[in-house]
Amino acid sequence: MVEYNELIFEISRSGRIGSSLPESDVPKVNLQNKLPDHLIRTELAELPEVSELQLVRHYTALSNKNHGIDNGFYPLGSCTMKYNPKINEDVARLEGFSRIHPYQPVETVQGALKLLHELQEDLAEITGMDAVTLQPSAGAQGEWAGLMMVKAYHKQKGEKRTKVLVPDSAHGTNPASATVAGFRTVTIPSNGDGLVDLEELKKHVDDDTAALMLTNPNTLGLFEKEIIEIAKVVHGAGGLLYYDGANANAILGKTTPGKMGFDIVHLNLHKTFTTPHGGGGPGAGPVGVKKKLIPYLPVPRIEKQNDQYFLNDNQPLSIGRVKGYYGNFGILVRAYTYIRTMGPVGLRQVSESAVLHANYLRKKLEPYFDSPFSQVCKHEFVLSGSRQKKLGVRTLDMAKRLLDFGCHPPTIYFPLNVEECLMIEPTETESKETIDAFAEVMIQIAKEVEGNPDIVLDAPHTTTIGRLDEVQAARKPVVRHSKEKTEEGKAESVKS
C-alpha cells in the first residue's frame, strides 16, 4: 500500500500536472520588454509536478501525522492549548469580514471598525486597562511594543533607564523581548514557595529600573500573593509594571492586572481567547495600557466620534505603527466572537473550570511524581521528574512515551528553576473523562519507569516515526532539498 510518506518533491514527475488551464485569451507579453533582466528567470522554478489526487493524498497524509487540539489532549503548560470553537471560524468567514480590503475608505468598513473598537473596549475591561491596541501580530511583538512604550514613557520624562527585571518563573519570552527592545535583563529568583522573592526584588529595583515583567499566575501556576507590595516597590522607584498575559486564562472575570497595579498588559489571543495557534501563521498580541501610557500607543488608533469610527494618526508621542493595516483582522474577529459567545459569566466560568481541572489533575498525579510546590495552583501546575531521574529515566523520555498514548506532552524543562520539570495545563475545555485518562497514562508511565524502564527509554513506539536522533538533527541538520534527480526522474533526497 502506498503510504505517501515521501516529500512532495520526491513524488514529482516531469510533465505531470494538477489542473489544466484554458487557452489564454489575452495577447502574450514579452517580459523582457517589461522587466529588468535580473528579475527574469533563466530556468524554471523547481516546483513539484503532481496530480491533484497525489497532492490531496500527500497533504492529507501529512496533516494526519500532526497533533493538534482537534486530534487529542494537549496539556502544554503556559501555552493554553484549549479548544477553538468552530463558530469563530464561521464568523471570520462571513463575507462582510473576509472580503473587505484594508485600502477601502473607512466609511465603507464601519462594521469592521466597530468590531475592532468593541474588541478594544472588551479587552480593556477584561484587563482593567484604559486603552488597548490590537496592532501587534503576536504575543512576543506585543511584548516588544509594550517595552517600546516603556522606553518612550521614560524618555519623555527625561530618563534613560536600561534595566528590565524578569522573575525566573516568568513567561519564557520576556527576557528575549526585553533584549530586543534594547534593555538589559536582570533575573529575579523565586523564593521557596515559588513566588517572587520580595527581598531579592528590592535589592535590584533602583532608578535604572525601567520595568518589571511579571506573569501572574506565574509559570509554576502560582498566584503572586504579594503583587500589591511588588507593585509598590517598582512604582516607588519610578519603574513600570508589565503584565505578561500568557496565563490570563486563570484570572478571567476574577481579577484584572489593572487591579493588581500593572501599567501595561499584553494578551496572547491564541491562548486565552481561542484563536488558532498559528505555528508562525497570523496571530495577535493586543496590548493594554493605563492612562499615563496612552500617548505612546501605536498609531493609527481606532476611535469613535459621533457614531462614526475612524483611524487616528494624530499622536505625536506614539511609538509609531507596529503592523500593517489593522493588525491580523481575521484573528481579531475570532477573538471577538469568542468573547461575545461566552459573555462575562462564561468567561468567569472559564477561569474557574481551568483552575478546578488543574487542581484535580495535580492531586491525582502528586503521589507518583515529585511536586516541588505542592499547594493549590491556578490553571497549571508543575511536577518534577527527579524521582524518575534517579531510576535512570528522564522527563524527556516520559514525554516521548506519552506520544504512544496519543497525548501531546506537557511543556518540559521549563521553568528552569524546577529540575526535570513537567508543566501541565489541562485547560477548561477538556472533559473529566479525558483528564482521568491522561492521569491514568501518566501513572502507568511512572510505574513503567520503576518496572519496565526500557519501554520508556525507547519510546515512542506507535508513532509513524520512532525516537528521532535529535543529536544528529542538531549537529548535521538536513534542511535543503537537492535538485538532482535519479534516472527515473525522482528527486534525490537531501544531502546537505
Partner 1 sequence: MRLSLTESALKKLKTVVLQEGQLPRIDADVAGGCGMTVAFSLVFDEERRNDFILELNGIRIRMDRFTQRYIGEEIQIDFTEEKGFLVADAFSSSACSIDIV
Measured from the CB atom, the residue of 176 and 237 that comes closer to partner 1 is 176
Measured from the CB atom, the residue of 206 and 419 that comes closer to partner 1 is 419
* SS3 labels along the chain: CCCCCCCCCCCCCCCCCCCCCCCCCCCCCCHHHCCCHHHCCCCCCCCCCCCHHHHHHHHHHHHHCCCCCCCCCCCECCCCCCCCCHHHHHHHCCHHHHCCCCCCCHHHCHHHHHHHHHHHHHHHHHHCCCEEECCCCCHHHHHHHHHHHHHHHHHHCCCCCCEEEEECCCCCCHHHHHHHCCCEEEEECECCCCCECHHHHHHHCCCCEEEEEEECCCCCCCCCCCHHHHHHHHHHCCCEEEEEHHHHHHCCCCCCHHHHCCCEEECCHHHHCCCCCCCCCCCCCCEEECHHHHHHCCCCEEEEECCEEEEECCCCCCCCCCCCECECHHHHHHHHHHHHHHHHHHHHHHHHHHHHHHHHHHHHHCCCCECCCCCCCCCCEEEECHHHHHCCCCHHHHHHHHHCCCCCCCEECCCCCCCCEEEECCCCCCCHHHHHHHHHHHHHHHHHHHHCHHHHHCCCCCCCCCCCCHHHHHHCCCCCCCCCECCCCCECCCCC
Query: In the bound complex, what is the minimum distance in angstroms from residue 355's beta carbon to partner 1?
Result: 23
Measured from the CB atom, the residue of 34 and 476 that comes closer to partner 1 is 476
Query: In the bound complex, what is the minimum distance in angstroms from residue 415's beta carbon to partner 1?
Result: 8
Query: In the bound complex, what is the minimum distance in angstroms from residue 388's beta carbon to partner 1?
Result: 10
Query: In the bound complex, what is the minimum distance in angstroms from residue 121's beta carbon to partner 1?
Result: 32
Q: Grid coordinates representing 375?
A: 499547594
Measured from the CB atom, the residue of 320 and 477 that comes closer to partner 1 is 477
Measured from the CB atom, the residue of 276 and 300 that comes closer to partner 1 is 276
Which of 214, 222, 225, 203 lies closest to 263, judged by CA?
A: 214
Measured from the CB atom, the residue of 120 and 173 that comes closer to partner 1 is 173
Query: In the bound complex, what is the minimum distance in angstroms from residue 172's beta carbon to partner 1?
Result: 4
Distance CA 181, CA 169 (A): 20
Measured from the CB atom, the residue of 46 and 458 that comes closer to partner 1 is 458
Measured from the CB atom, the residue of 366 and 450 that comes closer to partner 1 is 450
Query: In the bound complex, what is the minimum distance in angstroms from residue 143's beta carbon to partner 1?
Result: 14
Measured from the CB atom, the residue of 99 and 476 that comes closer to partner 1 is 476
Q: Grid coordinates representing 267?
A: 494578551
Query: In the bound complex, what is the minimum distance in angstroms from residue 416's beta carbon to partner 1?
Result: 6
Query: In the bound complex, what is the minimum distance in angstroms from residue 483's beta carbon to partner 1?
Result: 23
Q: Is residue 217 within 8 Å of residue 251, measured between CB atoms?
A: yes
Query: In the bound complex, what is the minimum distance in angstroms from residue 268's beta carbon to partner 1?
Result: 13
Write down how long the chain is.
496
Distance CA 160, CA 145 (A): 17
Per CB under 8 A, residues contacting partner 1 are: 172-173, 389-397, 411-414, 416, 420-421, 453, 457, 470-471, 473-477
Measured from the CB atom, the residue of 347 and 421 that comes closer to partner 1 is 421
Distance CA 178, CA 163 (A): 9
Distance CA 346, CA 428 (A): 11
Query: In the bound complex, what is the minimum distance in angstroms from residue 245's beta carbon to partner 1?
Result: 17
Query: In the bound complex, what is the minimum distance in angstroms from residue 300's beta carbon to partner 1?
Result: 32
Measured from the CB atom, the residue of 173 and 274 that comes closer to partner 1 is 173
Query: In the bound complex, what is the minimum distance in angstroms from residue 421's beta carbon to partner 1?
Result: 7
Measured from the CB atom, the residue of 252 and 382 that comes closer to partner 1 is 382
